[in-house]
Amino acid sequence: MCSANNSLFANVSYVFLDRDGILNRKPREGTYVTGWKQFHLLPGVEQAIARLNHWGRKVIVVTNQRGVALGHMTLSDLDDIHQRLRNHLGTHGARLDAIYACPHDVGQCRCRKPDVGLFERAFADFPAASVGNSVMIGDSLSDIEAATRLGIPSIFVGADPTNQEPDFRRAAQLATATAESLLHCVDSYLMGAPGH
């Protein structure tokens, strides 16, 4: 497992988040969150995002949503989930600055993580964002590999030293740091305004 001190993240102004497993409970392998009733926020998510907002950091979601390509939901369904998520966060004084979703199947695009197309779109929309002031927070190997390809630091969430699955171990080794949850990650590595 990697550990890191806060100085490695001191200049982070753009926080990229995976969705399933970071913001909401991850569905079982082979199943998908296809509607708001199946979207269950994880503890502390609202507080974590509100703190990042308060400290002036941009919060951007980058998520693979293969369920669209497989016909389990439509793009409209996905947009509805994300609008309801934004509305819910808003009632807790928290906001997402952008959400980028890949609706494609494996091998159909350059945006599905671990490819970096979603990040390239974000960098185009947020010209001040760069590899030098961004971090990726994710719970899967594809999240951490995408960050590695871009050259940005990453935090692997869900660290469990007893998990011996090869993908888990590889993600934990590749990541700049590890954390137990999004709130733990924010409180451990991203407290305060950038540069402080």
- Identity of the amino acid at 18: D
Q: Which CATH number describes the domain made up of 6-189?
A: 3.40.50.1000
Taking only the tens place, the pLDDT of each residue in 13-31 is 999 999 999 999 999 888 9
- CA-to-CA separations, 44 to 8, 24, 92, 124, in angstroms, rounded: 23, 11, 11, 30
Catalytic residue among 20, 77, 115, 139: 20
pLDDT at 6 exceeding the cut of 80? no
Q: Look up residue 109 and give its two tokens.
A: 């695009």
Taking only the tens place, the pLDDT of each residue in 120-150 is 999 999 999 999 999 999 999 999 999 999 9
CB atoms within 10 A of CB 125: 12
Q: Is-catalytic flag, 167?
A: no
Handedness of CA 6, 9, 11, 15 (dihedral sign): negative
Backbone angles phi, psi at 80, to 5 degrees: -65, -45
pTM (two decimals): 0.94
Mean pLDDT of 42-46: 97
Q: Is-catalytic flag, 20?
A: yes
